[in-house]
Amino acid sequence: MNVNPDDVDKIREAFTQYLAEKSLRKTTERYTILEHICQIRGHFNVEMLQQRLEEYNFHVSRSSLYNTIELLMDAQLVVRYQFSSQLAQYELKTLAATHHHLICNYCMAIREVKNAKISQDITMQRINKFTYEHHSLYIYGMCSKCKFRLTNQQKKKL
């Protein structure tokens, strides 16, 4: 799923407002990183983002990437995922709000699933002494490919 141009403008404005409120510099690097994040479909990690920037001949240090992602998370524009022991992955918050994650315990494949009923049920929950902002749901199990592979291996043993 792509972010439409109007949403990209809103995300950019929100980031500008955040930087102003925190008295932080509005640098070309920060905005270029944000624009590339807005073009990524789904999850990304820092290595993927750096490679993408390099392909566009935009050279930025890894520390600048991490620092900018931290700012974007603090501004509530990007969310961080830690799917088991894999590298941290990130996603625009506007995209993250539309799906949940199915994670295979065997091959670590991650599939996104949309279920409006689950999202509605979660957002309607009232939790004592807690103010809901957003949620992320991870469902762990076995993907169909691993199930097929396991079933075939068991048949061969018989």
Instruction: Tell me the two tokens of residue 3.
Output: 């972010």
Q: pTM here?
A: 0.77
- Is the pLDDT score of 1 beyond 60? no
Kindly state whether residues 144 and 70 are assigned to the same domain: no
Write the CATH number for 54. 1.10.10.10
Confidence of residue 62 (pLDDT cuts 50, 70, 90): very high
Kindly state whether residues 5 and 53 are assigned to the same domain: yes
pLDDT, tens digit (0-9, with 9 covering 90-100), for 111-157? 888 888 888 888 888 888 988 877 778 889 999 999 999 888 888 87
Look at residue 66 in the predicted model and tell me its pLDDT: 96
Kindly state whether residues 109 and 45 are assigned to the same domain: no
Structural domain containing residue 156: 100-158
Q: Of 35-49, 74-88, 122-136, which has the strongest mean pLDDT?
A: 35-49
Number of domains in the chain: 2
Mean pLDDT in residue range 44-65:
94
Of 75, 80, 82, 115, the closest CA to residue 99 belongs to 115
Kindly state whether residues 92 and 113 are assigned to the same domain: no
Look at residue 56 in the predicted model and tell me its pLDDT: 94
Kindly state whether residues 1 and 77 are assigned to the same domain: yes
Kindly state whether residues 4 and 47 are assigned to the same domain: yes
Look at residue 23 in the predicted model and tell me its pLDDT: 97
At which of 50, 74, 98 does a domain end?
98
User: First vs last Cα of the chain: how many Å apart?
Assistant: 44
- Residue-averaged pLDDT of the chain: 89
Kindly state whether residues 107 and 91 are assigned to the same domain: no
Look at residue 147 in the predicted model and tell me its pLDDT: 92
At which of 74, 98, 122 does a domain end?
98
Write the CATH number for 147. 3.30.1490
Kindly state whether residues 80 and 15 are assigned to the same domain: yes
- Is the pLDDT score of 2 beyond 70? no
Strands 78-81 and 89-92: antiparallel
Kindly state whether residues 36 and 79 are assigned to the same domain: yes
Look at residue 143 in the predicted model and tell me its pLDDT: 92
Kindly state whether residues 83 and 123 are assigned to the same domain: no
At which of 73, 98, 123 does a domain end?
98
Look at residue 90 in the predicted model and tell me its pLDDT: 92
Residue ranges of alpha helices (H) inside 1-158 are 5-21, 28-39, 46-55, 62-74, 93-96, 116-124, 144-157
Kindly state whether residues 15 and 75 are assigned to the same domain: yes
